[in-house]
Structure formats: C-alpha cells, structure tokens
Structure 1
Amino acid sequence: MTAVRQDAWSPDDDLILAEVTLRHIREGSTQLAAFEEVGEKIARTSAACGFRWNSCVRKRYEDAIQIAKQQRQKRNYMKKQAYVAAPHVSSVGTMDAEERTYKSEPITEESFSIDTVIRFLRQWKGTSQDLYRQIKTLERELREREEELYTLREQNAKLSLEVNSVQTDYRTVNDDYKTLIQIMDRARRLTVLTEEDEAKPRFKMDANGNLERIE
C-alpha cells in the first residue's frame, strides 16, 4: 500500500497534476480519473489532488484548459463526422476519405499541439519565475524571522537573569523585614515588662513590723 504524503506541494507535484489533468481534459476523460492517476504517481489521495487543483493550480492554467477543451471538442467532432459519413459512402470512397483524413489530420493536430506546447512552456516559464521570486521572498522572510527569534531569545535570557536577581533581592529584603519585625516585637515586649516592673509599688518592714511603701 502506498503511503499517503503529508508534506507540502512542490513545483514538480503541481506540474504533474497540471499535465495529467490537462491530458484527461483533452482526451475527454474526467478530472476525477486524472486526480486518481496523479495520486498514484505522487503518493497522495485523489481528494488532496482535487483540492490542490481547484484551489491553486487551476488558476495558473486557464489558457491551457481552454486549449485542451478545444482539442477535445475537435476530437469529438471529427469522430462524429467520421461516424456519420461512413454509412453513406462506398468502401473505396471511405478509404480515400480516411486516407485524406489521415494525411491531413496530423498536420493540423501537430501544429495545434506545437502551439499548445509553446503556450504551455511560456506559461510555465512565467510560473516558474513567479515561484522562484516567491521562494526568494520566503527565504528572506525566514532569515528575518530567524534573526528576530535570535534577538528575542537574547532578550528572554537577559530578562530571566533580571527576574532571578529581583527574586533574590526580594527574598533578602523579605528576610530582613521579618528579622526587623521580630526585633521590634521583642523590644516592645521588653518595654512593657520594664514599665510593669516600675509600676509595681515596693514595701519594706519597719522596726515595729509595719510595712512601709518605698517610692
């Protein structure tokens, strides 16, 4: 079983999709058959090929599609004419007509095909140039994004160091604050005890056994 690809479409994949689809249009086949053939060639599903054709590739080959449809119409017309004319002519006349058709048709088809190839090559040349410019633009944007990412990483490292330093200072200040609070609380308790001791009256016993308050 062929593995289904999940990567992005390459220019070669698009070219294969365009060539096969145009051939099926020219030969009177269906686009679904073309997508299935392309899928087997490049290991993708026919649905993926159809989506790629309708969303992206088709727009670049509008002229080629019209030419392929004209070729299909001409092919069908010639087949129909040959079928209609066959019962009404003699065998010798039929052979002469077929011989004339055989001799004249390749010239028209060949010249028509050459025009198609020339147009297709010109269109592909323009498409390839556009793709080349897009690739260069994407490469430039990628370099800019990499430089931006490098700068952001440096800033992030610097900010991380600053945050660690601030956290360390905060812990130090917090510890000092707690120590100060403990010292102040201890001093307050000592002050209260001293005041209480000073507030208590003192007595002494005189020679007669009486208590006498000492100021």
Structure 2
Amino acid sequence: MTAVRQDAWSPDDDLILAEVTLRHIREGSTQLGAFEEVGERIGRTSAACGFRWNSCVRKRYEDAIQIAKQQRQKRNYLKKQTVTAISQVSSLAVYDTEERSYKHDAGTLDEGLSIDAVIRFLRGWKTTYQDLSRQIKLFEKDLKDKEEELYRLRNENERLAKEASSAQTDYRVVNDDYKTLIQIMDRARRLTVLSSEEEAKPRFKMDANGNLERIE
C-alpha cells in the first residue's frame, strides 16, 4: 500500500516525476500510469503526483514533452513499417506457394518468375531495412544526447540545491548574529542611560555640626 506523504516536494521528487512521465509519453503509455509508478516510488498518491505535474513540473519540461511525443510518433512509425514488411513477406510466401501449386498442377512450372519476384522484393526490403536502420541510429543518438542532457541537468540541480541549502544556513547564522548584536547594543544603551541618571542625582555630606552639605 502506498504511504501518503504530507511533506513538501523536493527537487529529487520533481525530477523522478519528470523522468517517469516523459518515459511513459515516449513509450506511448498513459500519464495516469506514470503517476501511479511515481507514487509507488516516492510514497505519494497518484492524484498528488498528477496535481504536482500539471500545476508545477510540466511547465519546466515543455520542450522535453514535445521531443518525447516526436519519439513516440517515430517509434509507432517504425512499428508500423515493420508490421507492414512482415505482412508483405507473409503474403509473398503464400502467393509463391499458391503459384507453385497451381503451376505444378497445370504442368507449366516456371521457377524463374517466382525467383525474380522474390529477388525484387528482397531488394526493396533491403532498401527499406537500410532506411529503417539509419532512422533507428538517429533516434538512438538523439536519445543518448537527451539522456546526457538530463544527467547534466540533474547534476546542476543537485549543485544548486546544495548552494541553496548552504545559503539558507549562512542566512540563519547571520540572522542570529544580527539579533545578538541588537541585544548587546540595547543593553549598552540601557546601561548608558542608567549611568547618566546616576551622575545627575545630587550628593550630600554631613558637616561637623550635623548639617547636610551638597557636594557638587
């Protein structure tokens, strides 16, 4: 069961949410599935993950979302091309089998025509395969570049988080020192006022006849 956390979202939580959601977009999955996976990993509800994504994190990854959608389209295109090619091979095999059976029954077997058809098809498939291979290499290179960029951004995020934490610590120290200085200055001011009041009070001494005499 997923634990429900009440603490604030950390930069690492946001990064995990972004990575998983982008992967689901790229692979053609749903964002709901991404939110459920993130919730299991960081101990939050899928609803909380969805709200965080739509209200805050999504705005910072607009470019990455568009790239992930493009990669999904390319992935779907490659799958479609592969399925089409397999279907064509299967159809050709069935056609060739039927043609051979028909010609055998008719007593007019002509292997040259069937072989030429296969050769033409294999040449066309070779060209298609080469094109698909080039596209796959381009996609892999693009994905590698994005992963390196994401790794760099993660390191940069960690560095900035450490600097922010250090700055907060320095601020607290300076703030405490400032409060202490204010207290010291306030005590010094009070002592100065008391000293001035004591100096302003008149002083007296008693003479030989028992009378009080003011001392200037």
Same fold per superposition (TM over 0.5) = yes
Determine the structure 2 residue equivalent to 1:194.
Answer: none
- Structure 1 counterpart of 2:139: 109
SS at match of 1:76: helix
Q: Equivalent residues in 2 for 1:1-215 (5 A)?
A: 1-88=1-88, 90=92, 93=121, 96=125, 100=130, 103-104=133-134, 106-144=136-174, 146=176
Gaps (5+ residues) in structure 2?
94-117, 188-216
Query: Contact between 2:78 and 2:132, CA under 8 Å: does it hold in 1?
Result: no
C-alpha offsets along residues 100-128 of structure 1, whole Å, 9 cap, x if unaligned?
A: 47754542232121111122223334433
Query: Are the aligned partners of 2:5 and 2:44 in contact in 1 as well (CA < 8 Å)?
Result: yes
State the one-letter code of the partner of 2:61.
Answer: Y
8 A contact 1:22–1:68 mirrored in 2: yes
Give % identity.
54
Amino acid at match of 1:73: Q
Match of 2:98 in 1: none
| 1:41 CA displacement | 1.0
Task: Give the TM-score, by structure 2 length.
Answer: 0.57
Post-superposition offset of 1:130: 3.3
Q: Could you tell me whether the CA contact under 8 Å between 2:2 and 2:39 is conserved in 1?
A: no
Give the deviation of 1:146 after TM superposition.
4.9
Summarize deviations over 1:51-92 as a string: whole Å, max 9, x none. 222233223333322221111111122223334455445356
Separation (CA, whole Å) in 2 of partners of 1:145 and 1:53: 35
Residues 118-150 of structure 1 show CA distances to partners (whole Å, capped at 9, x for unaligned) of: 222233344334333332333334445555777
| Distance change >3 Å, CA 9–CA 118, structure 1 → 2 | same
Q: In the aligned structure 2, how far is the partner of 1:118 from the partner of 1:83?
A: 32
- Alignment length (residue pairs): 155
Q: CA, structure 1 residues 144+8, in 2 after alignment: closer, same or farther (shift >3 Å)?
A: farther
The structure that has the greater radius of gyration is 1
Per the alignment, do residues 59 and 29 of structure 1 end up closer, same or farther by CA in structure 2, a change over 3 Å counting? Answer: same
Distance 1:144 1:45 in 2: 39
Structure 1 runs not aligned, ≥5 long:
159-215
Q: What are the superposed Cα offsets for residues 158-191 of structure 1, whole Å, 9 maximum, x if unpaired?
A: 9xxxxxxxxxxxxxxxxxxxxxxxxxxxxxxxxx
Once the two structures are overlaid, the 10-residue window that deviates more, 24-33 or 101-110, is 101-110
**Is residue 60–residue 127 contact of structure 1 (8 Å, CA) maintained in 2?**
no
Question: For 1:3, what is the secondary structure of its paired residue?
Answer: coil
Residue type of the partner of 2:36? E
